[in-house]
């Protein structure tokens, strides 16, 4: 494993001198460490071989990123790895996503192992996908597993390119890949505490405040200790405490998730968070539900706007039918959020031009606009297809 600057310089030189696309993968320690940083980066390129790089020992890979600028990067499920690669200075200008290619080509199973087996006929070694990649030193079997993730990626890319071309979908895929490569970093989530698992049980504003205080306390501790938040306190325990709003440490200790293994000092810090939520004035309590920036949830449409509900039903049916004809998931044909927004607030005059403009404004790619505009015009107009 490459873990120092001298070895990294050799890798940069070798990969800069290689030819063709470069296969890239990254391993994180989700469920073990705080955040989504990369703990291993794997690369393979014709003429350079395979390199396994330790981003702990080599935290700045911008020189490698620059050496591969203009080269096509081949990743599987690129949107999962690009954020952690961006953090260490690696960002592609061109890419080919083999998972997305598989979706567009109509493969029912698009995991890397399934794709390699179905397309190339090889079975990849399994068993280390969920391990703690922050472990040092990394065991040799884990390194072998990681190297296999990039061993056949370029071969898979070549086979999928041919299949997409055969189906007449290659241009669609290239537009999707360009959109991923040029997308800006995702904005930080607003009020991330609202994504606590089990939140649907929490209804009252004071209880929501307890969730928020416990979540934010847990997040600070997890960040300081560099461990996964779920290892500090499970989501289920946060929700349990929010529903009970315990009055003291003894009541808290009786709740699921705060049992006998939780020390007195820890219990006191969790109870302090609950007490802070209990002491908040009404004006500072969180509102139920997140601020809605787009249309309301579809289940509410029938009451709020029956015409919009009818449009959405017709549009969903039309998109589903078209996606089935094209042998691809409907969410890859057009984003469900885009369809909802268009149906909730359609153009004043519904025609091909206005619908195309609206779709492009919501970020739909040209191939998507071309394919779905006719069926959406029909659905929005209330005409029979």
Q: What is the pLDDT of residues 91-108, one digit of tens each?
A: 999 999 999 999 999 999
Query: In angstroms, rounded to a whole number, what is the distance separating the alpha carbons of residues 27 and 53?
Result: 11
What is the helix (H) or strand (E) element at residue 298, kind and residue range? none
124 compared with 42, residue with greater pLDDT:
42
| Predicted local confidence at residue 291, as pLDDT | 65
In the numeric block, which tokens belong to residue 342?
Answer: 């268009």
Percent of the chain with pLDDT over 70: 98
Question: What mean pLDDT comes out for the span 288-307?
Answer: 86
| Predicted local confidence at residue 383, as pLDDT | 65
| Predicted local confidence at residue 384, as pLDDT | 52
pLDDT-based confidence at residue 385 (cuts at 50, 70, 90): very low
Closest Cα partner for 355 from 325, 329, 381? 381
Check: CB of residue 28 under 8 Å from CB of residue 36.
yes
Is the pLDDT reported for residue 292 higher than 70? no
- What three-state secondary structure class fits 27? strand
Q: What is the pLDDT of residues 22-81, one digit of tens each?
A: 999 999 999 999 999 999 999 999 999 999 999 999 999 999 999 999 999 999 999 999
| Predicted local confidence at residue 224, as pLDDT | 97
- What three-state secondary structure class fits 31? coil
Q: What is the pLDDT of residues 300-336, one digit of tens each?
A: 999 999 999 999 999 999 999 999 999 999 999 999 9
Dihedral over Cα of 191, 91, 104, 312: its sign:
positive
Query: In angstroms, rounded to a whole number, what is the distance separating the alpha carbons of residues 22 and 281?
Result: 57
Q: What is the pTM of this model?
A: 0.92
Q: What is the mean pLDDT of the chain?
A: 95
Question: What mean pLDDT comes out for the span 149-176?
Answer: 98
In the numeric block, which tokens belong to residue 291?
Answer: 């601020």
| Predicted local confidence at residue 372, as pLDDT | 98
In the numeric block, which tokens belong to residue 193?
Answer: 């505490």
Distance between first and last Cα of the chain: 59
* Core vs surface per residue 342-363: b (16+ CB within 10 A) or e: bbbebeeebeeebbbebbeebe
Percent of the chain with pLDDT over 90: 90
């Amino acid at each position: 494993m490459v873990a120092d600057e001298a070895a990294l310089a050799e890798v940069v030189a070798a990969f800069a001198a290689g030819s063709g696309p470069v296969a890239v993968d990254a391993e994180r320690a989700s469920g073990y460490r705080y955040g989504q940083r990369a703990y291993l980066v794997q690369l393979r390129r014709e003429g350079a071989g395979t390199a396994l790089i330790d981003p702990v020992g080599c935290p700045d890979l911008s020189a490698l990123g620059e050496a591969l600028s203009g080269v096509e990067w081949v990743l599987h499920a690129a949107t999962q790895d690009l954020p952690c690669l961006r953090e260490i200075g690696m960002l592609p200008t061109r890419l080919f996503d083999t998972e997305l290619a598989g979706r567009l080509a109509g493969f029912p199973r698009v995991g890397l192992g399934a794709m390699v087996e179905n397309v190339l006929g090889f079975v990849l070694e399994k068993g280390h996908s969920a391990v703690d990649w922050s472990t040092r030193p990394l065991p040799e079997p884990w390194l072998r597993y990681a190297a296999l993730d990039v061993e056949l990626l370029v071969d898979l890319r070549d086979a999928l390119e041919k299949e997409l071309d055969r189906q007449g979908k290659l241009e669609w895929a290239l537009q999707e890949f360009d959109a991923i490569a040029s997308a800006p970093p995702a904005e930080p989530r607003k009020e991330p505490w609202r994504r606590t698992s089990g939140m649907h049980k929490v209804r009252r504003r004071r209880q929501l405040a307890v969730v928020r205080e416990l979540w934010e306390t847990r997040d600070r501790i997890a960040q300081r200790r560099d461990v996964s938040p779920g290892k500090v306190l499970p989501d289920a325990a946060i929700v349990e405490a929010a529903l009970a709003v315990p009055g003291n440490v003894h009541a808290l200790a009786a709740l699921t998730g705060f049992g006998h293994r939780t020390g007195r000092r820890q219990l006191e810090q969790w109870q302090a968070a609950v007490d802070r939520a209990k002491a908040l004035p009404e004006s500072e309590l969180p509102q139920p539900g997140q601020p809605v920036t787009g249309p309301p949830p579809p289940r509410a449409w029938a009451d709020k706007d029956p015409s919009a509900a009818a449009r959405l039903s017709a549009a969903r049916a039309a998109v589903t039918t078209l996606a089935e004809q094209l042998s691809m998931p409907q969410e890859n044909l057009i984003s469900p959020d885009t369809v909802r927004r268009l149906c909730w607030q359609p153009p004043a005059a519904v025609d091909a031009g206005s619908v195309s403009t609206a779709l492009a404004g919501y970020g739909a790619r040209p191939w998507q606009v071309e394919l779905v505009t006719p069926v959406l015009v029909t659905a929005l107009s209330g005409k029979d297809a």
